[in-house]
Structure 1
Amino acid sequence: MLLYVLLALMLSLPAHAQDSLIKNYDIAPRPQAQSYYEIRGINPTEEPQIVVIRMSDRRNAPYHQRVNEERWVLPGPFHLLFQPSALQTPSGRFLNLSELQETKIFSPAKLNFTNLRPLTPEKPPFAFDFGPTPSPIFNGFRPITPQSPEITGGTPKAFIRKGADSLIRDGIKGITRFEIPLPNGRWQAYLWTEDIGEWETLPSLYERRVRINGKDISHLRQNHQQWVKSRYLQGQKDLGTTPWESFGKRRGGLLKTSLIVSNGHFKLELAGSNAQATTLTGLLLEPQGSDFFAKVEGFRKNWFEKRWPYLEEQKERQASRPSSLVAFAGETLFIPSQDKQPRPLPTIKVTNYAVQVAFHRTTPNSGLLVKRSKRFAPTQKSKQGYHRIDISPSTPAGTYDLGGLKIHVVAQTKPTLQKSIGIYLEPPPHLNRADEINMQVWCDLDYLRRLGLTAIAPPFSKNIIADYQRATSFGFRDILAYTPMKHTITEVRHALHSRQIDQLILSIADEPSNPAQAQNIKRLSDFLQNETPFAKRAGHLNNPKDKKHLKHLDFVLVNSGFGVDGRDISRLRNQGKTPWFYNMENIRLAAGFYLWRTGAQGFLQWHGRMPTADPYDPTDGREDDVQMLYPSDTVCSQQVEIDISLIDMIRGLSDLRWLTWLDQAAQTHLEARLMKKQIMKRIPPIWKKAQSLPAEHWHLLRNDIQKLALALQQ
């Protein structure tokens, strides 16, 4: 059956099915590695909607053995591109396209699909896509594998990554020589040379020589710090108006040059200090005056924009900028920028943070981007951002005028928090020296503790005792070991026997209901109990099915997937467990009012430093970059760029501090007892309801507490 029949089949469906489903057709001729298809339609709703592309090469294939590709479409006419050979099952397997059994394109919404057609590639005569077998081949290019005879030097090794188009997502490293016949004449050469990276690693490049027909066209020499400045942090200031302009078009490591061929031969030679220097993902040769390259880049841009649609930032109504604040001595506050810049005083420090607008995924795994005001950099002045106010512990009670902003420092002592609030932390992945890594971790721990965080899940090496003692030296209330039980059991046994980590909380369960998690929680629990009766066993649970593991746990970290309503927390407490929140949608609420209302004992949020490959490209990994502390070109920089999620956590800590004061005041003051009862009633113990309340609601509750504190000190 010819492919154009597919559209007729779609239009022959009943009217209600046409709106949301194209199904059960035979793509013929079978898709090849280069085949692309175009889907057009109309989204009549006012919201972005998901289109699902389901394909399988096995009859009645279960979810994990078939492709379930989700694409987002914006309201109005839409246009999608997909390449069957580029789609993978949840386990990472490519389909056998010659054995396709099912192809179904549908949407949960009422979308109008109007067209489905294959694209006819234009085939430049000298265009090569490097990569493994099987792997997707870019539109019109010839595949080159490590076994191809054109590779005449080196030890080629293929790789494939996530996220990008099929030209730059895969390639071959270890190529020292590539040769083909090429007609005499004037040519343009375009080389894509970047391994775009995977997980937290963006491969570094220090020295590389590129030679074509005996002539050097590029000779790069740089040290690690220069690479960090020029490449790793490239996206820090390169803020375009669209995702393609911001990061899409700069990925791939494009080199271009002109050449004259007089011997009917093209020889490319690569040399350098590491594998990145001998990497190729694509090569295009075109006669001067041709437009093949422009068409290639045009197709890449079109594919990228269809793959990664984006929304403009939706500005939430921010609480009114306060003209006065109430605070404890020794407190750190973040407040929205004032029209008039506050001036510092001898015991009150002011740091201004300017917003850096950038693109991020709407959720960690989403294929939809949104422009957000998330990153904040220290600056001299800022009208769009935040002021950080650090009040020295030695500041006497009284009113201080910072020039348009008044701060009332109360006479009451800043309460000591009895809850554990913090984040997960790893070293910055771009550092490559042990002394610099160690120094940066020290600085991060110091910075976070000074902000007021009381708990931490820090990085652990095989020297668990030293890493634990390093974290405790900063005064964190609780320390969770997230990774050691996954990798360093022998070292854990040694540390437990030393009796020097009795207060360390060891995670033995990491979302065990997830399909990819194969864990023997009982075995790990028994191991800890056999080694020492003092071991604190923890688990991260995100599904009600995980309740069966509770008997093996002491500390239970839960999120909304498991259930975080007040009754969920009460059940855990009644079973003798210590409940914590983790990875909550509203960080300020979870760290403050909601934590206090439900009686949960702690809260950890992912993550301090977890970028994926390029830290300013949210599309190059399985998930978005998650980083509360952004990378810097210097170790222990005094100008720390921070994420809004960290600001929200600090503001939540401040809320919790005032609630803790209210708890203490209620023991001796009737007014405080009455207010505590009133506030309890105004905080729903149901997470969904609490999240739905506007930010102003929580500001008013906090203001009521602060007014009482001022009244009681008179």
Structure 2
Amino acid sequence: MPSSDDRRDQILWWLRPLAGKTLPVLASLHVVGDNTTSTAQRVILRVDDYADPAYADRVDDGRVLPAGPFDFTARIGLLATPSGRRLNMATLAQAIAFTGVADVNVTGVTITDAPTLPRGDIAWYFGPAAAAPLYGFQQVLATDPRVTKGVAIQNPGHEPIPTNGIMTTEFDTPLANGSYHLTMWTEDAGNWQNKPPLLQRRIEVNGAVVTYQTLTWDQWVSQGYVAGRAIEADPTQAPFFTVSAQRGGMLTTDVTVTGGMLRISLAGYPAAALYLAAMVAEPRGPAPTAAGLVQAQRALAFASDWPVVSGPPTAPNATALTAVRSDASGTAVTTAPGGFGYLTINVTSPSAASASATVAWGAKSPIEAQAWWNMWRWRRVDASSQGLKFDNGMLRGDIATIAMNPRLPRGIIVAFNVPATTLPGNYHGRVQVTQGGSSASVPFYVEVLAAVRPAPVAKVGPFLDFAPQWVNQVVPMTEARQQAACDLGVLSWFGFTTVVPPLEAPIDSGTLAAYLAELGNAERTYGTDLVAYAPLKGMDVSIGRGAPAAAKLAVVADKACSLTPGERCSRAPVYRLDREASGRARWQRAISGRSSLSRSFRLPLPVPPRSPENRVATP
């Protein structure tokens, strides 16, 4: 039985008619069903291309599906076994959908196929044949003689265009003389962790420049890496058009071929400038259609991977600018000295003109107030599910230019940081929202109680790393450190009591100096209660563990002392890489310096006069 390796599995659908059929190269399995539980559940689509394959030689395409109806497709020719072997389309035997939960129902598994480009269009796809968006694309591999210096690129994902392509400096192909409308997809989208930078690019078609781009690193960050940050989700459109439609680097131009050849020349820096994913040449006419067909297939693939669980709210139907409290009735925000509070405001307007908000106090107040506005985005329901929700959890700090949309309510959050020296009492103020010649006011008061907040039972804070767009070999780490300092300041203002800061691994004199500088930035905000996870991990990777590592770190420790004249230095093994079953007791022995040098990392730190233990963070 297909579920023999797990008797809890429930077979939901068994598609036997695959046996003996050779399916088209772009055929997909279309799975429809309903997850009637209240949480996301995993459904496995198993596909075999011969009878009774071993577990390691069969395809198990798992999807974590949110609660509710589901509908997804899987391009059969792109499915692979754990070893990376692609399925043989000529010997497919069966497809089975199964799960381990009784309340997940599959109502159908069918075979679907892709559409075809219009007659007369000529198209090229620079990736696996089974990944092409439509029929009519010629497959062109990196080793094709028409390609100069080709390198194959495959990124994660199921969308046909951003996922596959080649790096090349030139593509020469025969093409009948005539006038064409040419569409090219040219973006190397990278992966979820890394977007390849693109600073300089020139693309020519038969000698004519189609695009010429020269960017500084700062410009690439704003125009490329975080370009989508300012795009608010449109409640009238599917998520694809906000999240992914602009990806792919689509370029269009008209070209007249006279010598029977089409030549695409690419140059630039870094390597992403040479990326080419797909091209379509349409005989020039009044209304090109190929780009629209390709985008439609991309939208279907996106919708299959990212189903909508919760859509946009009902349009507010506002007739005038209004602002009302949305968190609770009344105007009080109650807290204590050294505490924190906030209020939320709901703003609606029939106008799309930008608005602004200010916080004003009735009398001088020691309380600090900051305001943000909520931006609507499509976001994952949770980290384990592929479902999307229309959500306004993203906060924007540009409170002087609040984007307004008559179809959406706009949230404003005002946070209050109450210093520990604040006297008990009521502190009155109001939030003023202005749009053009209209304004709306929301009164409030912060009630500071005559109470002493107890010390927290545990210290809480996030893991923080350097912003990846600033960590590279092109620009210095100045921007990355400034970004980290800003992040640390914001987290501290919000009341986090400790943090895992971004720190270099001090494995040589250069990185040691950087480590000490970064440590100083973090200490100015958080004091000495820091967890140095990143440098510990970096040292583990770079120099390993045991006696050789300890010897090298001893040298680094000496250099740390020479870089901090006038301060005592300690080589006590403050942080450990291994933790025994006894847990905390073992850490205490490490702190006291009695643990074996060969089993501990000595993290060299200049020690302030108070105590060497004040840099210790226990897990």
Structure 1 residues 389 and 64, CA, compared in 2 at 3 Å: closer, same or farther? farther
Structure 1 residues 303 and 150, CA, compared in 2 at 3 Å: closer, same or farther? same
Q: Which residue of 2 aligns with 1:184?
A: 177
Does residue 37 (structure 1) correspond to residue 28 (structure 2)? The answer is yes
Name the SS for the 1:443 alignment partner. helix
Structure 1 residues 475 and 43, CA, compared in 2 at 3 Å: closer, same or farther? closer
Q: Which residue of 1 aligns with 2:425?
A: 398
Does residue 474 (structure 1) correspond to residue 563 (structure 2)? The answer is no
Q: Which residue of 1 aligns with 2:360?
A: 343
> After the TM superposition, which parts of structure 1 deviate over 6 Å for at least 4 consecutive aligned residues?
46-49, 338-341, 532-537
Instruction: Note the alpha carbon deviations across 1:176-199, whole angstroms, 9 max, x for none.
Output: 110111111111111111111124
Q: Which residue of 2 aligns with 1:83?
A: 75
Report how far residue 127 of structure 1 moved.
1.6
Asked whether the equivalents of residues 454 and 476 of structure 1 are also in contact (C-alpha less than 8 Å), the reply is no
Asked whether the equivalents of residues 445 and 471 of structure 1 are also in contact (C-alpha less than 8 Å), the reply is yes
Name the amino acid aligned to 2:228: G
Q: Which residue of 2 aligns with 1:462?
A: 505
Name the SS for the 2:162 alignment partner. coil
Does residue 410 (structure 1) correspond to residue 449 (structure 2)? The answer is yes
Distance across 1 between alignment mates of 2:133 and 2:384: 25
Q: Which residue of 2 aligns with 1:647?
A: none
Q: Which residue of 2 aligns with 1:697?
A: none
Distance across 2 between alignment mates of 1:401 and 1:381: 25
Name the amino acid aligned to 1:427: F
Distance across 1 between alignment mates of 2:83 and 2:467: 27
Q: Which residue of 2 aligns with 1:530?
A: 596
Instruction: Note the alpha carbon deviations across 1:3-29, whole angstroms, 9 max, x for none.
Output: xxxxxxxxxxxxxx9993124553554
Instruction: Note the alpha carbon deviations across 1:209-234, whole angstroms, 9 max, x for none.
Output: 11111111111122111222222222
Name the SS for the 2:161 alignment partner. coil
Report how far residue 250 of structure 1 moved.
0.8
Report how far residue 273 of structure 1 moved.
1.9
Q: Which residue of 2 aligns with 1:648?
A: none
Asked whether the equivalents of residues 348 and 392 of structure 1 are also in contact (C-alpha less than 8 Å), the reply is yes
Distance across 2 between alignment mates of 1:81 and 1:66: 15
Instruction: Note the alpha carbon deviations across 1:269-306, whole angstroms, 9 max, x for none.
Output: 11112211110111111212353333222222222223
Instruction: Note the alpha carbon deviations across 1:649-673, whole angstroms, 9 max, x for none.
Output: xxxxxxxxxxxxxxxxxxxxxxxxx
Distance across 1 between alignment mates of 2:578 and 2:139: 45
Superposed CA RMSD: 3.9
**Which residue of the other structure, out of 489, 492, 505, is the alignment partner of 1:446?**
489
**Which residue of the other structure, out of 110, 113, 121, is the alignment partner of 1:116?**
110
Distance across 1 between alignment mates of 2:35 and 2:346: 41
Report how far residue 363 of structure 1 moved.
2.2
Structure 1 residues 483 and 342, CA, compared in 2 at 3 Å: closer, same or farther? closer
Summarize the alignment of residues 232-251 of structure 1 with structure 2, pairs less than 5 Å apart: 232-239=225-232, 240-241=234-235, 242-251=238-247
Structure 1, unaligned runs of 5 or more: 1-16, 510-523, 538-577, 581-714
Instruction: Note the alpha carbon deviations across 1:585-619, whole angstroms, 9 max, x for none.
Output: xxxxxxxxxxxxxxxxxxxxxxxxxxxxxxxxxxx
Name the SS for the 1:455 alignment partner. coil
Distance across 2 between alignment mates of 1:501 and 1:24: 67
**Which residue of the other structure, out of 37, 46, 61, is the alignment partner of 1:54?**
46
Q: Which residue of 1 aligns with 2:583?
A: none
Report how far residue 331 of structure 1 moved.
3.3
Asked whether the equivalents of residues 126 and 164 of structure 2 are also in contact (C-alpha less than 8 Å), the reply is yes
Report how far residue 354 of structure 1 moved.
0.9
Asked whether the equivalents of residues 341 and 381 of structure 1 are also in contact (C-alpha less than 8 Å), the reply is no
Instruction: Note the alpha carbon deviations across 1:84-122, whole angstroms, 9 max, x for none.
Output: 233345x57243425656531245545353461241541
Asked whether the equivalents of residues 47 and 58 of structure 2 are also in contact (C-alpha less than 8 Å), the reply is no
Asked whether the equivalents of residues 399 and 408 of structure 1 are also in contact (C-alpha less than 8 Å), the reply is yes
Q: Which residue of 2 aligns with 1:160?
A: 154
Summarize the alignment of residues 539-618 of structure 1 with structure 2, pairs less than 5 Å apart: none
Summarize the alignment of residues 61-460 of structure 1 with structure 2, pairs less than 5 Å apart: 61-62=54-55, 66-70=59-63, 72=65, 75=68, 79-89=71-81, 93-97=84-88, 102-106=94-98, 108=101, 109=103, 111=105, 113-114=107-108, 116-119=110-113, 121-122=115-116, 126-131=122-127, 136-140=131-135, 141-151=137-147, 153=148, 155-173=149-167, 175-239=168-232, 240-241=234-235, 242-289=238-285, 291-312=289-310, 320-321=328-329, 323-337=331-345, 342-344=359-361, 345-378=364-397, 379-380=399-400, 384-403=411-430, 404-412=443-451, 415-431=454-470, 432-460=475-503
Summarize the alignment of residues 545-694 of structure 1 with structure 2, pairs less than 5 Å apart: none
Structure 1 residues 224 and 408, CA, compared in 2 at 3 Å: closer, same or farther? same
Name the SS for the 1:488 alignment partner. helix
Name the amino acid aligned to 2:525: F
Structure 1 residues 92 and 417, CA, compared in 2 at 3 Å: closer, same or farther? farther
Report how far residue 123 of structure 1 moved.
5.1
Distance across 2 between alignment mates of 1:332 and 1:381: 26
Structure 1 residues 502 and 459, CA, compared in 2 at 3 Å: closer, same or farther? farther
Report how far residue 475 of structure 1 moved.
3.0
- The number of equivalent residue pairs is 501
Name the SS for the 1:20 alignment partner. strand
Report how far residue 461 of structure 1 moved.
1.8
Name the amino acid aligned to 2:596: N
Structure 1 residues 358 and 64, CA, compared in 2 at 3 Å: closer, same or farther? farther
Asked whether the equivalents of residues 181 and 264 of structure 1 are also in contact (C-alpha less than 8 Å), the reply is yes
Instruction: Note the alpha carbon deviations across 1:238-278, whole angstroms, 9 max, x for none.
Output: 22332111122111111111111122110111111221111
Name the SS for the 2:468 alignment partner. coil
Structure 1 residues 503 and 358, CA, compared in 2 at 3 Å: closer, same or farther? farther
Distance across 1 between alignment mates of 2:346 and 2:114: 57
Structure 1 residues 322 and 390, CA, compared in 2 at 3 Å: closer, same or farther? farther
Name the amino acid aligned to 1:398: G
Structure 1 residues 314 and 420, CA, compared in 2 at 3 Å: closer, same or farther? farther
Distance across 2 between alignment mates of 1:460 and 1:468: 7
Distance across 1 between alignment mates of 2:302 and 2:226: 22
| TM-score normalised according to structure 2 size | 0.71
Distance across 2 between alignment mates of 1:503 and 1:397: 45
Structure 1 residues 44 and 157, CA, compared in 2 at 3 Å: closer, same or farther? closer
| TM-score normalised according to structure 1 size | 0.62
Distance across 1 between alignment mates of 2:505 and 2:66: 47
